[in-house]
Structure 1
Amino acid sequence: MRGCVIHGADDLRIEELPEPVPGPGEAVVSVRYGGVCGSDLHYWRHGGVGDFLLHEPMVLGHEIVGTVHSYGPGTDGPAVGTPVAVHPATPCGRCAECLDGRAQVCRDTRYLGSAARTPHVQGGFASRVAAPAGQLRALPDNLPLRRAALAEPLSVALHAVRRAGSVQGKHVLVTGAGPIGCLVVAALRAAGASAVTVTDLLPRALEFAAAAGATTLVRADDPADPGWPDEVDVAVEASGSAAGLDTCLRAVRRGGVVVQLGMLPPGMSPFAGNLVVSREIELRGALRFATEFDEAIGFLARESLFDGLVSAVVPVGRAVEAFALAGDRGRSCKVLLDFGV
């Protein structure tokens, strides 16, 4: 059984792993596709994501879909062979945040392929993966596995839009047209945004944003680009850069909302805090998601436009090549690893 194991910066290995044995309450899923996420790329390039640093080898991956392989003793769920997506989070259910309905910021959560705690939570980039049976979601008959692999990142996008409040009839700016930024665009249009302006440095990334429903595309490095709005009602920062946050703060109207979705570099970041004060801007963070996973699956089943955001499917044996491609946004949007070949 093959898996993608990160040992440190620039040290991704395809290794033989032991077959998972499901315990009570667990299921084993035969993984077909795994989406390479920005956090996976950070572990590969830098040995960590933000303040979460690798301290031991870890199987990467949290965007996985496949079919039910088996169950542990006394456990049931979707029938063996059923196509499923795997919700990657297991919140504790006991902390103040969970009890307040904010499980996405649970202080003791377990998230597939995360170094936020030690021992690390091993991820889903393996031929077969054991997970709590309650995290399995049977897929609608009309949702192919390849498109369903977007369920986790789309959930992140839906949560970010929810954090912004109502966007019905509003003009929204999105900085960063990576996979998450493009999914935010689709989520915004579905939520009724009247206009979505997207900025990025790369023409190819902006093309993907247009496919997702952006109404205006702007080169982030061109202050003379005629697409720059005078002001917007809401801004979503999806690039994970201090420059992107600065753009959002300067573009949003007085009393507007900025949602910081991209994970900024570790440590201190420059921050135009005076604008937050003088314009009474509401700056809100958005981390992962909670209840949006099922919503995302339904959305994917209804909309085939998401197929265009999957730019490549690469066999797991060429995982390093897949990661390099995923990290080159001039050539790709969402890259999937194929564990079925």
Structure 2
Amino acid sequence: MEGTMKQLIFKTKGEVELTDVPIPDFGPDGLLIKVAYAGICGSDVHGYTKGGLYGGIADGSKFGHEFVGYVAEVGENVADFKEGDRVWVDPNFVSPMGSRFSCMAGGFAEYAGTVKAVAGETVHHIPDDLPLRTAALIEPCGVGTHCKNRAGVQAGDNVLMWGAGPIGLMGWAAMTHQGVKNIVVGEQMPERIEFAKAWGVDVFDNTEASLIDYAGEKFGIVNINSYERANVDKYLDYVGLGILIKEYMDQGRPGSVFATVGLDGRPLEITPSEFMSKEYTVMGSRSYTPADAREVIDVLRDKTVDMSQLITAEFTLDQADAAFAAACDKNSGLKTIFRMEGE
């Protein structure tokens, strides 16, 4: 497709611009997508508030990677998609340069391209019973789901997780869908605590009290190798504070697993012998896999929890400044998205 389109450009810290750019080329193995909705990610917020490098976004680049839409054109080598199909595109495959550039996928635009279209792997069909607006949550929900999958959460586990923001609640929903019954969640923001309670989350205000102590009250105390600890199998950090790793090292149950999806670049002092004596497993969680994405689509279709409630603000591209102001204000809501013309 030839011509130009509207595209939001990341100029520099605190500055974005809506401009006209050529419609992207997608190649013989890809697709051109007419974007319907695109969410503002935490990495976009980091870039906007702290500078592009904090969000993986270069100054002067296109950005936006949480997008869904309709197939507008199909590459000549692609057989699994047709014009009009409703799809979610894995932004890790938008650029031929790979996942390192996924935050610059260019989803804040009228059109976006992907250079590699493989059904169920790089591009996923959206079922008819899943609204596109809700499907815009696939990418962030994939991040939350991947964290619990990295940790190997099983239905019978006792799980402690920090953070009832969008990613944390998406992780909670994925675990609940999986059949996990015992989950305690720590949060400090009153608005998020109230939202989580309305969903039926066992959420605890850990502003001044210990979430791990609360988990001990809920799950009991066990004695392993003379360490008396809360009986928690998996500890999931959806906040991104390095100090939580330290808290886990000091108070975690021997033989348990800690996984973090957050970003904290500050150095942390730990004692390596703790890993040996308590047989800890500590891991990072980045992005998601195609299997995670397929699981997420099932979670979003599950009507037990209305995941669309996470979307608390909606704007058009020409309202970008207001959209980023809302996304940066943690007290004003949870998830901010762009709605494209025609939706």
Normalising by structure 2, report the TM-score: 0.83
Residue 62 of structure 2 contacts residue 105 of structure 2 at CA under 8 Å; is this kept in 1?
Answer: yes
Aligned to 2:162: 175
Q: CA contact under 8 A between 2:65 and 2:106: conserved in structure 1?
A: yes
Q: Letter of the aligned partner of 1:290 in structure 2?
A: T
Q: Which residue of 2 aligns with 1:99?
A: none
Shift of 1:236: 0.5
Which is further off, 325-334 or 244-253?
244-253
RMSD of aligned alpha carbons: 2.7
Matching residue within 64, 67, 73 for 2:67: 64
Percent identical among aligned pairs is 28
Of residues 251-260 and 61-70 in structure 1, the stretch that sits farther from structure 2 once superposed is 251-260
Cα distance in 2 between the residues matched to 1:251 and 1:239: 18
Letter matched to residue 130 of structure 2: L
> Structure 2: which 5+ runs fail to align?
217-229
Partner of 2:196: 209
Closer/same/farther in 2, CA of residues 69 and 111 from structure 1, 3 Å limit: farther
Match of 2:283 in 1: 284
Contact 2:7 2:106 in 1 (8 A): no
| Structure 1 residue corresponding to 2:88, chosen from 85, 90, 99 | 85
Alignment of 1:200-239 (within 5 A): 200-215=187-202, 217-223=203-209, 228-230=214-216, 231=230, 232-239=232-239
Instruction: Summarize deviations over 1:226-285 as a string: whole Å, max 9, x none.
Output: 9822222211011111233334444531111100111223x5245565644442221011
- Unpaired runs of 5+ in structure 1? 94-107, 115-120
* Distance (Å, rounded) in 2 between the aligned partners of 1:333 and 1:181: 11
Instruction: Name whichever of 228-237 and 248-257 sits farther off.
Output: 248-257
**Which of 88, 99, 102 does residue 110 from structure 1 map onto?**
99
CA distance in 1, matches of 2:80, 2:40: 27
Match of 2:22, SS state, is coil
Structure 1 stretches of at least 4 aligned residues deviating more than 6 Å after TM superposition: 224-227
Q: Which residue of 1 aligns with 2:15?
A: 11
Q: Which residues of 2 match residues 1-341 of structure 1 at below 5 A?
A: 1-48=5-52, 54-90=57-93, 109-110=98-99, 113-114=102-103, 121-131=104-114, 132-134=116-118, 135-215=122-202, 217-223=203-209, 228-230=214-216, 231=230, 232-265=232-265, 267-271=266-270, 275-291=274-290, 292-303=292-303, 304-340=305-341
Preserved contact between residue 242 and residue 270 of structure 1 (Cα < 8 Å): no
In structure 1, the residue corresponding to 2:254 is in which secondary structure? strand
Check 1:40–1:53 CA distance in 2 against 1; reply closer, same or farther (3 A cut): closer
Q: Deviations over 1:125-176 (max 9, x none)?
A: 1110111322322211100001111111111222111111143222211112
- Taking a change above 3 Å as real, the CA distance of residues 182 and 250 of structure 1, as seen in their structure-2 partners, is farther
SS in 1 for 2:155: coil
- Kindly name which structure, 1 or 2, has the bigger radius of gyration based on alpha carbons: 2
Contact 1:4–1:125, Cα closer than 8 Å, also in 2: yes
Q: What corresponds to 1:100 in structure 2? A: none
